[in-house]
Structure 1
């Protein structure tokens, strides 16, 4: 979702929350990324948010600069043209990238989920044709799972259908919505039923659909609380050549689960970065906004906003990094990711709300990033599964009888 705009006169104050587990070499990279995002990406946000040719030119320039400074595609495998930074280390960098919604795209990490999926589960034809352009930023990808009038938490009710075309390929028919970035994507991974009937737990597959294919159509943009970036798409008998099935037929949910665990963790890290941005704005406002007899920060109620926000950030960060550490080690992280997702979404919403309160009416207007940050925080409680889904899932796992 787009929307973390920096306006003229806005200052984002660096706040160090204490991160003793971050090695010195990773801290150096993290600080370079933070400087790049703040000095180069944030000033471009109004242009990037607007889309169109100007946004494309600005993004291309930022990508050239990122490559020149050795910051391109840090977490992607070296075999794919990335720098191979392990997830545990990259987690520290992802926070800095995430201060802006455009940070991952400007620095090349936005392709991580799709590149890993195609690398691990794509056919030789797909890997040969799409992987290198995806990693280089030449191609953009999207992921389409949810559908109108179908609960997003119940993929077994998926209505989109893919049938063999008799020549080794597929014909896909259906509709998807709230697909991030699908409006400008070159490739869209689509969840479709290839066997059985809803609500069968088997028979769901993932297929890679080129947006240029006949029958692929962007129905409309779906603004989320006024922010662009989501789309509804239609697949009207789209024909796919052989090799565009991702993973095994009928085994989509295994691939999707792998992707979702990492995707949720990356989102949490980036939400932390945006919460830190909101905290910096609040801190600056409290310290400099004059009032009769002093500044806003002298008021105990303002101090409480600062304290509660810092407490939320400090207690959420270990949860998110624990999830990243377990995922990076190949361990089961369902509980850790569920805890992190709910905590990070709540923290971003809470800190952005407190920052708006400290800013007063100015926090509601166009002169700061706070409306966009709050919007992202509120949407975060639904993105990648609503809070309620994760709460129930974690609780059920915790309450399972111990197995001997």
Structure 2
């Protein structure tokens, strides 16, 4: 085994779990994913049954720590699992991975009381979370512009906020809200805090589920909080620590996305290859045409490149190293690969590719969001450049192996 193979080797145990998860998704989740995605009563019942089966089979919440009810897998091992889960959006909910970002955040910063009330039931699949970061009137990529406010009145926080893309708020038990609590703080990055707000609190209003790309199935909610009051104990972490907490949530969240994008890309790739081998046109199968062969070769190369970049970022996280540059790189590159592979798959399918008869048209819509959420490409690209140039300003050079 050479150095590269040793570096990214997958253990027999992880491979066994990976195969088990793959079978569960292909055999149990994908056949009913459209029912689940509609969000109706039948779909909710199907999802509950799948969640119970996932727990029985020992494949529930594998990427979260054992002490909060997860599987305790290391980041690098979890890449191999989460890329398979990424094959189906419904699989995230069926296997309890949709709470990974909020679970990480609450586990790191929550009080024991907060964990009992919110974290443990959430990881167990009893309640759903949501987070209120983005606002319609300011740039989401610059959290120092946030306009939502909260102030203490006795033993209660009084909150006024207008958020959107508070994904899942329409089915969530609570929203962790990012709002300004220290308006006079000179350091703009220490003005905001995180406060847990139950969604049934008086004054909490779901204005609408925002239509995106012609659909509302994503549950991207616009919410408004008017003089909402919650106990001061609902503060998550310390006052003025909201920016730090958000980054601790978003950092792992970005790589979770990249893991799942590998699965989405691979599923689109599988569909493209099957289509190419079975569709006849202009005297031969599509698979015999050089243009289609290039689609397949380019896609395979890009997926594998993204996989190795994701594994390297995960390896650094497991070793406690600074992985910010690696995460920024894979967030930008992974989103591009996701889009391009799905786009080629649609092209190979022709008219069929833009219908709901295959999952490709939904995957394509979701892929476009990838370049925006959890930080737009432009912000991550600027971060990459700044951090690399800093090395040269210090009369050093950028070494990809040790950066």
Q: Same fold (TM over 0.5)?
A: yes
**Shift of residue 239 of structure 1?**
0.9
Q: Which secondary structure does the structure 2 equivalent of 1:109 belong to?
A: coil
CA contact (8 A) 2:356 2:362 kept: no
**Shift of residue 290 of structure 1?**
2.1
Q: Which secondary structure does the structure 2 equivalent of 1:311 belong to?
A: helix
* 1:245-394 superposed matches below 5 A: 245-394=235-384
1:26, 1:98 → 2: CA distance?
17
**Shift of residue 132 of structure 1?**
1.8
**Shift of residue 379 of structure 1?**
1.2
Match of 2:137 in 1: 149
Report 1 or 2 for greater relative contact order, CA contacts < 8 Å, sequence distance ≥ 6. Answer: 1
CA contact (8 A) 2:62 2:72 kept: yes
Match of 2:399 in 1: none
Q: Which secondary structure does the structure 1 equivalent of 2:144 belong to?
A: helix
Of 182, 191, 199 in structure 2, the residue corresponding to residue 195 of structure 1 is 182
Q: Which secondary structure does the structure 2 equivalent of 1:280 belong to?
A: helix
Note the residue ranges of structure 2 that are not aligned, 5 or more in a row: 1-6, 397-403
Of 65, 71, 78 in structure 2, the residue corresponding to residue 83 of structure 1 is 71
CA contact (8 A) 1:125 1:243 kept: no
Of 12, 28, 33 in structure 1, the residue corresponding to residue 16 of structure 2 is 28
Match of 2:394 in 1: 402
1:170, 1:77 → 2: CA distance?
31
**Shift of residue 172 of structure 1?**
0.9
CA contact (8 A) 1:224 1:379 kept: no
Of 209, 215, 226 in structure 1, the residue corresponding to residue 214 of structure 2 is 226
Match of 1:171 in 2: 158
Q: Please give the per-residue CA displacement for 1:77-106, whole angstroms capped at 9, x wherever unaligned.
A: 111122211111111100001111121211
Of 128, 153, 158 in structure 1, the residue corresponding to residue 146 of structure 2 is 158
Match of 1:16 in 2: none
User: CA 1:192–1:20 in structure 2 vs 1: closer, same or farther (change >3 Å)?
Assistant: closer
When structure 1 is superposed on structure 2, of 116-125 and 139-148 the one drifting more is: 116-125
Q: Please give the per-residue CA displacement for 1:327-382, whole angstroms capped at 9, x wherever unaligned.
A: 22222111000000011100110000000111111111121111111111111111
Task: Work out the number of aligned pairs and report it.
Answer: 385
CA contact (8 A) 2:100 2:253 kept: no
Q: Which secondary structure does the structure 2 equivalent of 1:196 belong to?
A: coil
Is 1:103 matched up with 2:95? no
**Shift of residue 399 of structure 1?**
0.3
1:147, 1:197 → 2: CA distance?
21
**Shift of residue 151 of structure 1?**
0.3
Q: TM-score, normalised by structure 2?
A: 0.92
When structure 1 is superposed on structure 2, of 58-67 and 285-294 the one drifting more is: 285-294
CA contact (8 A) 2:152 2:232 kept: no
When structure 1 is superposed on structure 2, of 191-200 and 112-121 the one drifting more is: 191-200
Q: Which secondary structure does the structure 2 equivalent of 1:223 belong to?
A: coil
**Shift of residue 293 of structure 1?**
3.3
CA contact (8 A) 1:348 1:373 kept: no
CA contact (8 A) 1:119 1:127 kept: yes
**Shift of residue 292 of structure 1?**
4.7
Q: Which secondary structure does the structure 1 equivalent of 2:197 belong to?
A: strand
Q: Which secondary structure does the structure 2 equivalent of 1:213 belong to?
A: coil
**Shift of residue 136 of structure 1?**
0.8
1:116, 1:291 → 2: CA distance?
51
**Shift of residue 206 of structure 1?**
0.5
**Shift of residue 108 of structure 1?**
1.1
When structure 1 is superposed on structure 2, of 260-269 and 241-250 the one drifting more is: 241-250
**Shift of residue 53 of structure 1?**
1.2
CA contact (8 A) 2:18 2:84 kept: yes
Q: Which secondary structure does the structure 2 equivalent of 1:201 belong to?
A: helix
Note the residue ranges of structure 1 that are not aligned, 5 or more in a row: 1-18
* 1:204-219 superposed matches below 5 A: 204-219=192-207
1:403, 1:163 → 2: CA distance?
47
